Structure 1
């Protein structure tokens, strides 16, 4: 992956990029006149194009060029913002963070979910699955008056210790009447890496990788 936190380098050549002369239809009146003259010289004399129509075409060209420049500037701003995210993520390394994901990270034989406080749902049924959707472990957890942390020891229903990795999970709330209530849970895991790849900044939590915008908070270490 590219753009890792350990290999971030300061930008170079910024001054040259800022001071380079700007050329194009929208900023160079001579280019505008040249294009207009060329079109007049090469048109069919028996079917001459209206001058207003030609002018409108050139104005459209200039508008498109300006839009391209705006998009380029937005891409540069996005790149700078992603660079800032890489730097700001450095203090997170080694910290336990809470993220939004449909997978939990088994690190050192331990994984955690943060369950919501009791409301309509009084209990939560947590199901851990493998990549094919096969159930590995399920647990029914009572919900308290404050958010509850549920820990998984990385063992399946038969007691076999599973390898560290990212495992899918599903969560279902159970109401006082036994009915199903929709709830969500945050994933707690230790941040181990951050990188920029394919235009996105991603946070690594062991084998789990999530977009940086999925970060929900820091857990007390």
Structure 2
């Protein structure tokens, strides 16, 4: 489909709409006052080209002017909606700042390997006979297989950053997959995620994103905010 043709208004009484510099384009959001001269020229041209034996009814010109005004009103409404959306996004971003410095649990299939390794959280909907957590590199290759808990509920597993051969892996982002099966070798439904401290927030395509280490997690993926353990000992 021709985009330019789709944006150009259809001819009125045989008069084609022309806009050489965009100044009179309604799609450009110009005021009716700025384009009224263009509209008057259009009416004048129609009067010159109409059939004297079948002149255009005056009400038709009134209808055209009404449509012209309604078009401008619609464009102004769109501008106001855009402003409201932008305001809403800014409000969401401001609210998300409260997460900075807090520890959260979020749905995720990736984890960030740091100096102290990486922690992954997962949940089992039922008891399993065997649970494996597979760590995958950027090529999708399994580099480490960890044994997980078999009881229903939420669990955490720590990866020390080494592969199955004991080699230290580079710091960065890795994927992980939780596979659980029961005694009849049937797959047990699982959920997986990460737990970490939020270091920043940002907007991406209209969505609020939390930075958890090197991982970017949508705000709606957060399942819980975890209170950090106090390192201060109780006084006697």
Fold agreement, TM-score > 0.5? yes
Q: Sort the Cα spacing of 1:137 and 1:59 in 2 relative to 1 into closer, same or farther, 3 A.
A: farther
Alpha-carbon contact 1:128-1:168 (below 8 Å) kept = yes
**1:162 maps to what in 2?**
169
Q: Is the 8 A contact 1:104 1:169 kept in 2?
A: yes
- Structure scoring higher RCO (CA < 8 A, sep ≥ 6) equals 1
1:55–1:183 CA distance, 2 compared to 1 (3 A)? farther
C-alpha spacing 1:175/1:60, structure 2 compared with 1 (3 Å): farther
Q: Is the 8 A contact 1:191 1:204 kept in 2?
A: yes
Pair 1:179 & 2:186 matched:
yes
2:132 is aligned to 125
1:196 is the counterpart of 2:203: yes
Matched, 1:213 2:220: yes
Count of aligned pairs between the two proteins: 195
Q: Distance in 1 between matches of 2:126 and 2:189?
A: 11
Structure 2 CA distance, aligned partners of 1:53 and 1:210?
56
Q: 1:52–1:198: structure 2 CA closer, same or farther, 3 Å change rule?
A: same
Q: 100, 107, 118: which one pairs with 1:93?
A: 100
Q: Note if contact 1:109-1:164 (Cα within 8 Å) is conserved in structure 2.
A: no
Aligned equivalent of 2:158: 151
1:111 is displaced (CA, Å) by: 1.9
* Mapped contact 1:127–1:139 kept (Cα < 8 A): yes
What is the alpha-carbon distance in structure 2 between the residues aligned to residue 175 and residue 88 of structure 1?
Answer: 43
Indicate the RMSD between aligned Cα atoms, in angstroms.
3.1
Q: 1:108 to 1:94 in 2, by over 3 A?
A: farther
Is 2:41 the counterpart of 1:38? yes
Match of 2:78 in 1: 71
CA distance in 2, matches of 1:66, 1:140: 63
| TM-score, structure 2 as length reference | 0.67
Q: What runs of 5+ residues in structure 1 fail to find an aligned partner?
A: 1-22
1:18-37 correspondence runs (5 A):
24-25=31-32, 37=40
Change (3 A) 1:55 1:137: farther
Moved more, 176-185 or 133-142: 176-185
Q: 1:137 to 1:91 in 2, by over 3 A?
A: same
Unaligned runs of 5+ in 2: 1-29, 229-236
- In 1, distance between residues paired with 2:131 and 2:161? 19
SS, match of residue 39 in structure 1: helix
Q: Does the 8 Å CA contact 1:165/1:208 hold for their aligned counterparts?
A: no
- Identify the residue that residue 15 of structure 1 maps to in structure 2: none
CA distance 1:60–1:123, change in 2 (3 Å) = farther
